[in-house]
Amino acid sequence: MAAKQTRERILETSLALFNAQGEPNVTTNHIADELGISPGNLYYHFRNKEDIVAHVFARYEARMDQTLVVPEDRLPDLEDVWLQLHLVFECMWDYRFLYRDLVDILSRNRKLKAHFARILDRAATSAADVLKGLAAAGIVRATPDEIRATAENILVVATFWLNFNIVRTARPETDQEDLTRGIYQVMLLIAPFLRDIERAHLNTLAQAYR
Amino acid sequence: MAAKQTRERILETSLALFNAQGEPNVTTNHIADELGISPGNLYYHFRNKEDIVAHVFARYEARMDQTLVVPEDRLPDLEDVWLQLHLVFECMWDYRFLYRDLVDILSRNRKLKAHFARILDRAATSAADVLKGLAAAGIVRATPDEIRATAENILVVATFWLNFNIVRTARPETDQEDLTRGIYQVMLLIAPFLRDIERAHLNTLAQAYR
């Protein structure tokens, strides 16, 4: 197996184990075992577990950055919002280990914390830009304070939706159906600002998410 | 020192240490040290740390139950909502160790998880009742789906507000000022459903919270 291939497989297997068992419960020995390679081989590619976490995080960050792009050539519409939310929640799901132990992981690593804060800044700007765009298109009616506060609330609901489901339900873990409900919950943050026609449409769509 | 007094002091000191250092970082030895008593004396009162956590949690639960009472003899108004939110956030602040490591603490203890889920159920009912009351009073305009979804969003924002602040800002911990902003963020979840006159009033109040 070529070195590059091994490196890639270590990152993929680490992500799968982090998601399945929780990052704090996975050691480099678990990862090497799962791959059927020696710990020495693993340490040839990565200094330690934090190094692996940092590389997995870099991929998460690159993907989230892509999903947060707002169309610049035209005003956004509600279809754009649905699509973007699906992309964001899918990215969160693929890297759910991060959200599951967010405070713990970020408090151990100052650099990751700064990077995550940057993503949140970018997401807040993106959400506010979309709301301003919807307001400019006459679809949304909201004051600047309301837009700012709603952008923050979108961030809170999206960031902690997986954990909310864990503590809200008797089931130990969350699944993709919960994720779809998360998208719906974020849309409902926007609903009351909409014109009556779009608001009624959203309420109709809501039936599918209950 | 009478036995009852010692028991009380153990619970008070444990809560203070949990809040200051994070519950996972505090051992029964730390607690005994802080009180200047022997570990044996501590174990005379409580079986282990989980036993202490359970007793601290019972106090939190009793207090939160009191704050979630909705006035039954009349329709609620916005003043009631502000007051109730202050009481809820103050309770969350006084037991902030629980929110800081919520998923971790609840996943270790099935009984606490069930109790916390019950509190969330009760809070969701309380929030929905208040919104329905505001709708009945003609202050709020919202569909049943919007009320249900907004009640859930209020729960997410309130429950994870402290953690959101930890990951959103460069500062390592949150403070009481962040808490006041949390109350504002929850009010802004309700704002867009309000009649124009109440909504404008809330936007004016918002200046104080920025």
ipTM: 0.93
Q: What percentage of chain A reaches a pLDDT higher than 70?
A: 96
Model pLDDT, residue A138: 93
| Nearest CB to B166; choose among A103, A150, A152 | A103
* Pair A38, A32: CB distance under 8 Å: yes
Model pLDDT, residue A172: 64
Q: Mean pLDDT in chain B?
A: 92
Residue B102 to residue A163, Cβ atoms within 8 A:
yes
Instruction: Please tell me the distance from the alpha carbon of residue A181 to that of residue A170, in angstroms, as a whole number.
Output: 17
Tell me the pLDDT tens digit for each residue of B182-198.
Answer: 999 999 999 999 999 99
| Nearest CB to A167; choose among B103, B168, B191 | B103
Model pLDDT, residue B202: 85
- Statement: the pTM of the whole predicted model exceeds 0.90: yes
To probe the interface with B, which of A148, A157, A199 has the most B CB atoms within 10 Å?
A157
Q: Considering only A75-84, A170-179, B133-142, which range has the smallest mean pLDDT?
A: A170-179
To probe the interface with A, which of B57, B100, B147, B188 has the most A CB atoms within 10 Å?
B188
Instruction: Please tell me the distance from the alpha carbon of residue B91 to that of residue A124, in angstroms, as a whole number.
Output: 28
Residue A167 to residue B101, Cβ atoms within 8 A:
no
Mean pLDDT of B146-156: 97
Mean pLDDT of B144-155: 96
Instruction: Please tell me the distance from the alpha carbon of residue A34 to that of residue A11, in angstroms, as a whole number.
Output: 12
Q: What percentage of chain B reaches a pLDDT higher than 70?
A: 96
Residue A1 has pLDDT above 70, yes or no: no
Residue A153 to residue B157, Cβ atoms within 8 A:
yes
| Nearest CB to B117; choose among A101, A107, A170 | A170
Residue A156 to residue B152, Cβ atoms within 8 A:
no
Query: Other CB atoms closer than 10 Å to residue B195's CB: what's the count?
Result: 14
Please report which confidence band the pLDDT of residue A210 belongs to, taking 50, 70 and 90 as the band edges: low
Rounded to 5°, angle at Cα B205 from B202 and B210 = 115
Contacts of B210 in chain A (CB under 8 A): 145
Residue B193 to residue A192, Cβ atoms within 8 A:
yes
DSSP codes, A131-180: HHHHHHTTSB---HHHHHHHHHHHHHHHHHHHHHHHHHSSSSS--HHHHH
Question: One-letter amino acid identity for A132?
Answer: K
Model pLDDT, residue A2: 76
Instruction: Please tell me the distance from the alpha carbon of residue A78 to that of residue A93, in angstroms, as a whole number.
Output: 22
Model pLDDT, residue B210: 66
Tell me the pLDDT tens digit for each residue of B109-124.
Answer: 999 999 999 999 999 9
Q: Mean pLDDT in chain A?
A: 92
Report which listed range, A164-173, B150-159, B166-175, is most confident: B150-159
Chain B touched by A167 (CB under 8 Å): yes
Please report which confidence band the pLDDT of residue B205 belongs to, taking 50, 70 and 90 as the band edges: confident
Residue A69 has pLDDT above 90, yes or no: no
* Chain B nearest CA to A41, separation (Å): 33
* Pair B52, B109: CB distance under 8 Å: no
Residue B163 to residue A166, Cβ atoms within 8 A:
no
Contacts of B59 by beta carbon, 8 Å cutoff, 6+ apart: B11
Residue B63 has pLDDT above 80, yes or no: yes
Instruction: Please tell me the distance from the alpha carbon of residue A149 to that of residue A144, in angstroms, as a whole number.
Output: 9
| Nearest CB to B168; choose among A117, A145, A207 | A117
Rounded to 5°, angle at Cα B169 from B164 and A103 = 45
Residue A153 to residue B185, Cβ atoms within 8 A:
yes
Tell me the pLDDT tens digit for each residue of B66-98.
Answer: 999 877 788 888 888 888 999 999 999 999 999
Model pLDDT, residue B208: 74
Residue B172 has pLDDT above 70, yes or no: no
Chain B touched by A119 (CB under 8 Å): no
Residue B138 has pLDDT above 70, yes or no: yes
